[in-house]
Amino acid sequence: MCIWNIERRGEHMTAPNDVAIQDFDSKIAHVTGVTNGKGSASTPAGALAPGSDTYKGWLFKWTNYLKGYQRRWFVLSNGLLSYYRTQAEMAHTCRGTINLATAHIDTEDACNIVLSSGGRTYHLKASTEVERQRWVTALELAKAKAIRMMNDQSGDEEPTTQSDRSEGIQGTLKTLISKLDDLGTCNDLIAKHGAALQRSLSELEALRVPVEGGEKVKGVNERATLFRITSNAMINACRDFLDLAETHSRRWQRALQYEREQRIHLEETIEQLAKQHNSLERAWREAPTLSANTPIGSERLQKGEASDEDEDTEYFDAMEDSPAFITVTATENTQHRSVSPYGLYRKEMQPLRRRRSHIPDKPNYSLNLWSIMKNCIGKELSKIPMPVNFNEPLSMLQRLTEDLEYHELLDKAARCESSLEQLCLVAAFSVSSYSTTIHRTAKPFNPLLGETYELDRLEDFGYRSLCEQVSHHPPAASHHVISQRGWTLWQEITIASKFRGKYLSIMPLGAIHLQFHSSGNHYVWRKVTSTVHNIIVGKLWIDQSGDIEIVNHRTKETCQLKFSPYSYFSREVPRKVTGVVSDSGGQAHYILSGTWDDKIESSKIVQSSKGGSGSEGKQKTVYQTLSPKLLWKKYPLPDNAENMYFFSALALTLNEPEDGVGLTDSRLRPDQRLMEAGRWDEANSEKQRLEEKQRAVRRRREAEATDALDDGREYEGFQPQWFHKRTNAITGETNFVYKGGYWEAKDSQDWSMCTEIF
């Protein structure tokens, strides 16, 4: 245990890098009664520096028998006692330092102080006994403080899971305990000085010689002075303790009263919600069943399409590299809020055919994840052999089809006369495709080469969707959707993914195209990066981050969307999405805000002005907007979704068996079907069989390509059945687009052109 860390060069000593002690408060000043002083041998030896917790002054230090006691400048600060030859040396040379937390303090006679530690003894001397007692009192308080703070620090090294409020209470309790310890130290000093004073008084009573009496009376007076000083310190410490206790007592009373009021308010709110729930449930049971073709009342549509000019006015900061929208509601006479047609579409969208609403519950199988993943760090995800334990019973083609969960947004956009309003709805649709991923941390099945998936909702919702796996390395899927309600969507998505040890990054590559038939507006955008965190340890969670630029290539109007990555230290709303819709000239017309897992709102801009400078020195533009309108709201998950892979209502129907689908359809994939049924062991065996079959086909194609090369012939290789390569005139990219024929083959039930892949 090291108390003195001394490196001698003559008398040169270097202070150790000890742990800093917290505030010394002002107890030394209370104890000594000194607020300033020169500290000379003939003046008070110690002084508290103004505005600091440092106690300093002159003392004599024993050096050796030749030089005896030498005058040195001592500084007591943060539990460390340091000394210098002169005051000027404080700026550059420390002669020695002692940590009081492990030192022993003793007094030999009227003026001496002995500090001992580690087998060494250091002798100090004050000019008078009063000065000596001031230093002893200051050293004792500093030692007690240093020991207490050292213990607190060692306790703080242990991990804690307290909330912020609990930490505040613990800190207050530590402060109160500290004050109590100070009171105990002062009490000990009072007892010591009281005993010395009593002895002096007893000796005074026994005196007979006048000269001797004068010396003793002087000693009694000095001891009485010390007793008075220490008593004042005791009183000041008590006053500090009482003030602190009263302050925190009032604060706790207010906090307790606030918690009581919040509890009462919460109970009242829960009671009201329960009543509303019961009334809504009764109304739902008593209401007649609505037909899927029930017309929407013109009056309700007029309310839903209310003029923006009659709405409240709000203010937003302009979107920059890192947008932060601050809303300031302006005062207006009208207080009409726009009514979203979201609920109306739910009624309009009731399917004609009743589809399944549940699947078998997910089995609870244990698996050592690290034993599989430790050899996969840095590899492409599609090349990692994974058991079905990490999958969900859907293929990547079906996950791609889930983008159509909120297709009604495109139906409404097709009816918009304003291209800017249409762009707002397209932006909401692009965000809505991520809402199904919030709890979906399982991996979809990698499609086999040539595997397809169709979603025929022509009678229900007016659209037909077809996906095909057009490439295996790299894995790429093409998707084509055509709707009778005025729009066509197509995309080719290549999934690039990397396992980084702690998280998994999924980067969808490729553009999404959307064209409206009546206006000819052609929109193009790309997806953001998805990240799955806590792959090895902890609960899995998924986040979306990055920027999306949606461009209308006919009008050159754009929408800039920003998906803010989650940060534990950020005060922003988690999963926040912000955006600005601008015309071809770059003038902003709408502000978009919300979260990718809940809702998106749009606010029409009525005025803009220059605001203050941002954090990077850029001048911000402040947008004055009307009250926000709801564009999209996430559907609630079905009952028992947590045991059904957190599937949405649409996802539950994607793998439902249907008659007449193509022979390569994902619904017919045996390993996926066995997993959905809960037979995971059989599913793993079937998955290995399919993968080995696919590898054998690839080896055969490679051999055929080699033979063709040797013979000087061209080898066509694998060609998708329903898609062919074309160069896009807008993006200039070459990708696979739908060439037709699938729905005609389905109508005739002629699948002779399909390859047996299962």
* Structure tokens belonging to residue 245: 């206790």
Could you identify the residue written with the tokens 């103004």? 50
- Mean pLDDT: which of 57-66, 81-90, 478-487, 488-497 is highest? 478-487
What is the per-residue pLDDT across 474-508, written as a single tens digit (0 to 9) for each? 889 999 999 999 999 999 999 887 777 678 888 89
User: Residue 98: beta bridge partners?
Assistant: 4, 81
* Structure tokens belonging to residue 380: 């492409």
DSSP designation for 328: -
What is the per-residue pLDDT across 164-203, written as a single tens digit (0 to 9) for each? 555 666 667 677 777 777 777 777 777 777 777 777 777 7
pLDDT at 211: 64
Nearest to residue 723, comparing CAs of 541, 508, 469? Answer: 469
Cis amide bond preceding 474, omega within 30: yes
Question: Could you write out the DSSP letters of every residue in 588-638?
Answer: EEEEEEEETTTEEEEEEEEEEEEEEE-TTSPEEEEEEEEPPEEEEEPPPPP
pLDDT at 323: 46
| Cα 516 to Cα 621: distance, rounded to the nearest angstrom | 33
CATH of 326-744, one of 3.40.50.620, 2.40.160.120, 3.20.20.80, 3.30.420.40: 2.40.160.120
Asked if residue 344 has pLDDT above 50, the reply is no
pLDDT at 524: 95
Could you identify the residue written with the tokens 């742990």? 19
Q: Are 428 and 341 in contact (CB under 8 A)?
A: no
Question: How does residue 380 score in pLDDT terms, banded at 50, 70 and 90?
Answer: low
Q: Which residues contact 416 (CB under 8 A, 6 or more apart)?
A: 422, 425
Our CA dihedral for 710, 711, 716, 717, rounded to 10 degrees, sits at: -40
φ, ψ dihedrals at 151, nearest 5°: -65, -40
Which of 340 and 262 is assigned the larger pLDDT? Answer: 262
Q: Are 724 and 736 in contact (CB under 8 A)?
A: yes
| Cα 97 to Cα 670: distance, rounded to the nearest angstrom | 78
Q: Which residues contact 95 (CB under 8 A, 6 or more apart)?
A: 11, 12, 13, 72, 82, 83, 84, 85, 89
pLDDT at 167: 61
Asked if residue 427 has pLDDT above 80, the reply is yes
Question: How does residue 433 score in pLDDT terms, banded at 50, 70 and 90?
Answer: very high
* Structure tokens belonging to residue 457: 């909702």
**CA distances in angstroms from 253 to 105, 246, 274, 464, 727, listed in the order given:** 43, 10, 32, 64, 72
Nearest to residue 340, comparing CAs of 297, 298, 303? Answer: 303
Could you identify the residue written with the tokens 């001031």? 134
To the nearest whole percent, how much of the chain has pLDDT over 70?
A: 74
* Structure tokens belonging to residue 267: 């109970």
Question: Could you write out the DSSP letters of every residue in 477-539?
Answer: EEEEEEETTTEEEEEEEEEEEEE-SSEEEEEEESEEEEEETTT--EEEEE--EEEEE-SSSS-
- Mean pLDDT: which of 261-265, 529-533, 548-552, 705-709 is highest? 548-552
| Cα 74 to Cα 60: distance, rounded to the nearest angstrom | 9
pLDDT at 728: 87
Which H/E stretch holds residue 8?
A: none
Could you identify the residue written with the tokens 């605001």? 611
* Structure tokens belonging to residue 655: 């793998």
**Rounded mean pLDDT, 299-315:** 41
DSSP designation for 320: -
Specify the 3-state DSSP secondary structure of 746: helix
Angle at 222 between CA 217 and CA 224, to 5 degrees: 90
What is the per-residue pLDDT across 113-152, written as a single tens digit (0 to 9) for each? 888 766 667 788 888 888 888 888 888 888 888 887 777 6
Angle at 471 between CA 466 and CA 475, to 5 degrees: 95
Please give the mean pLDDT across all residues of the chain.
Answer: 77
| Cα 454 to Cα 56: distance, rounded to the nearest angstrom | 86
Amino acid at 169: I
CATH number of the domain at 54-151, please? Answer: 2.30.29.30
pLDDT at 206: 67
pTM (2 d.p.): 0.56
Asked if residue 438 has pLDDT above 90, the reply is no
| Cα 661 to Cα 453: distance, rounded to the nearest angstrom | 8
φ, ψ dihedrals at 720, nearest 5°: -60, 155
Asked if residue 11 has pLDDT above 50, the reply is no
**Rounded mean pLDDT, 72-81:** 86
Question: Which of 288-292, 532-536, 677-681 has the weakest average pLDDT?
Answer: 288-292
Residue 174's Cβ-side half-sphere holds a number of Cα atoms within 13 Å equal to 16
pLDDT at 27: 43
pLDDT at 275: 74
Q: b or e along 723-749 (b: 16 or more beta carbons within 10 Å of the residue's beta carbon)?
A: beeeeeeeeeeebbbbeeebeebbeee
**Rounded mean pLDDT, 297-301:** 39
**CA distances in angstroms from 640 to 278, 633, 657, listed in the order given:** 21, 21, 21
pLDDT at 518: 94
What is the per-residue pLDDT across 584-628, written as a single tens digit (0 to 9) for each? 999 999 999 999 999 999 999 998 887 665 555 566 788 889 999
Nearest to residue 376, comparing CAs of 368, 386, 366, 363? Answer: 386
